[in-house]
Structure 1
Amino acid sequence: MPPADPIASTGTAVPATADVNAAAGSDARLNAGSLVGTSTGADADLGVDAGASGHGEDTMDLRLPDELLALIADGSSDSHGSRRPDEDTAQPSVSIAATREASVPSVPSVPSVPSVVPAEDDLLDRVADWGPTDTPVGLFQLVPVRVERDLPLISRWMNDPAAAAFWELSGPQNVTEDHVLAQLAGDGRSVPCIGVLDGTPMSYWEIYRADLDPLARHYPARPHDTGLHLLVGAVTDRGRGLGGLLLRSVADLVLVRRPSCARVIAEPDIRNIPSIAAFLTAGFRFSAEVDLPDKRAVLMVRDRHLRHLL
């Protein structure tokens, strides 16, 4: 799974998703945990300390429903939060710019990510239809990835050393392509997106169903838990606090557009202090430390009922 951390261990902000840990594919994602490189995933048998966060509800009812276990067994996750099919596998006041056009000038509107799930059963409530939202730093929109248009840009971002350390997707363009195509070819439980700020593509996101991900094996998942992975692409956009601001806006957008979702989660590497700081700034709470297959992570949670307090 890709990292969920918005900031790289170097202190820069980065990526584009209760206690979090994901499996092999999920595991890779879990390895990433910086805003510069973000994803989810992890394989560990519920390595969560019930008292770590002081939120008892996060560590109770650890047995997952049989149907979710079945889905997880069939699912997959990439080391940085992206699910790979071939691997083991209240409403915040986010103001939607009603008077502005829903399309972003520099990124033409694109069709929804291909999915074998009927539109009416979309697992993430049609991310492509969420539209733009006002943020303290400008008009922001998540635009589902279109490989032929976005792959060169994403690959360039992944080859930045700060991102590569967490996402592990550096190298030839086909490395990133395989990672993205695995999500696009899945059942819709993970949607890779380009984050467009005031018309300029500037970040990579993965919005995914944490409760249907192998990560759910490692924390007391609840139905519709939604995970975030974020990578702030351009070096010039890092270290300016953008990670925390955008994480808050996107987490609240998830809660607005997904009324069935009560929590937004992330699992940054515990060593990535800047990333953890960005999530805290974004209103996430430190829930617990979790041992994942390839890293020790921090389970960050943004609760619907606490969104106005944090």
Structure 2
Amino acid sequence: MTDEAPRLIERPVAAGDPSAAPGMPSEATDNGVVFRSEDVNVYYGSFRAVRDVSFDVPRNQIMALIGPSGCGKSTVLRCYNRMNDLIKDARVTGTITYRGTNLYDERVDPVEVRRRIGMVFQKPNPFPKSIYDNVAYGPRVAGQKKGLDDIVENSLRKAALWEEVSDRLKDSALGLSGGQQQRLCIARAIAVGPDVLLMDEPCSALDPIATARIEDLMQEIKQDYTIMIVTHNMQQAARVSDTTAFFTADIHSESDTRTGILVEVDTTQKIFSNPSDERTENYVTGRFG
């Protein structure tokens, strides 16, 4: 092994194809797997919040993480772009590789990880800036000066928002509806040229019409991005995802705490029609959760 730090090669900002970046592993070398997790544990101090999670995330698919509250779905999701690093006393053990690179190698820059692996949160969180400046923010921080107009337009088009806001790009993003704000946040994530989008309950604060638009959007953009979504909505998971991971929790009655565990991962069709584990069947049929 050399002493050279492993790099997540930066793709050109707002490039259309995740494989377009120089040095990006080809389909042949990544074997269709974007992430591989092996024996992942997440601790907050001495408390183990998630135990021994292992699964692969296929490229250009939508993977849903489902399970009852407190089973560690969001904690696991945050592992994939190292957002847990921002939580005091949090640590991750085990191995998570992204296209063959260990995300937690001490030489890997977490900022670069988050640029390649974007996050869309539960509640829309546009900056108190114009619509244009929200989308252009990431490229500007990365030093992009030319072509910002094209980046903004392309990102808004991919987020299915351009036709609704093209004549008011200088207006405050805070004046958009909730659903529009969430699509703006998706456009903002897309603008820095990610390979993966992580979505933590992106529709939980939206009405049914806005939810349907976000779900349609996910289907439209998965040809360009791998998407992981945490959702409590079983119907949503069944509608939008290709693969599903079901989590539950071991409850420690003496300390009133829970440790999340992965029960099974399979195609969404199998998880919802013929799961391998009785706990999964009980959850997807509404017997608990």
- Say whether the fold is shared (TM-score over 0.5): no
Q: Shorter-chain-normalised TM-score: which range?
A: 0.3 to 0.5
Larger-Rg structure: 2
Higher strand share: 2
Bigger RCO (CA 8 Å, 6+ sep): 1
Query: TM-score w.r.t. structure 2 length?
Result: 0.35
